[in-house]
Amino acid sequence: MKNIPYSNAIGSVMYLMVSTRPDIAYAVSCLSRYMSNAGLPHWEALKWLLRYLNGSIDTGIKFSRCNEGANLIGYVDSNYANDKDSRRSTTSYVFTLCGACVSWKSQLQNIVALSTTEAEYIATTEAFKEAIWLKGNIFWALVIWL
């Protein structure tokens, strides 16, 4: 695995994820956990992700003008205790404005949730913090621009 450019490839797909591809956020989140000690299964999963990206090259974010009211819409979910090593849950959310993604995240939670309800509550709290920030800082600028 020393001759395989795993970290470089992860950096490249992270750039794509942050720029225009929210659909790969969960996969990149999972694969990036093994950057310091990647094995052959991780490299195979990364190659699968690269093949997916190659096959969906026309997919991305399209921004367009809103004819109706610009509504900020958010979706949030958690995956209870899905990390087999730490038993931490994953928080994922996405926010759209006029049908286009403006913010997204998929990350392990900082603490171990003791129930699915607690994991969902933590995820919802993170999403609400992002919604408040979006509404207060960039929502109005995006509405004027669109």
State pTM to two decimals: 0.78
CB neighbour list of residue 90: distance below 8 Å, 6 or more residues apart: 26, 29, 78, 79, 82, 83, 106, 107, 108, 109
For 96-109, write each residue's pLDDT tens digit: 888 888 899 999 99
**In a shared domain, residues 84 and 116:** yes
Give the residue from 122, 47, 117, 62 showing the smallest Cα distance to 90.
122
pLDDT band at residue 2 under the 50/70/90 scheme: confident
Domain span at residue 36 reads 6-55
The reply to whether 67 falls in a domain is no
- DSSP lists the bridge partners of residue 92 as 77, 106
- DSSP lists the bridge partners of residue 96 as 73, 101
Question: Residue 145: what pLDDT?
Answer: 54
**In a shared domain, residues 141 and 79:** yes
**In a shared domain, residues 38 and 88:** no
Alpha-carbon distance values, 54 to 19, 23, 48, 100 (Å): 16, 14, 10, 22
**In a shared domain, residues 31 and 78:** no
CB 146 within 8 A of CB 97: yes
For 9-52, write each residue's pLDDT tens digit: 999 999 999 988 999 999 999 999 888 889 999 999 999 999 99
**In a shared domain, residues 127 and 84:** yes
Give the count of domains, the chain.
Answer: 2
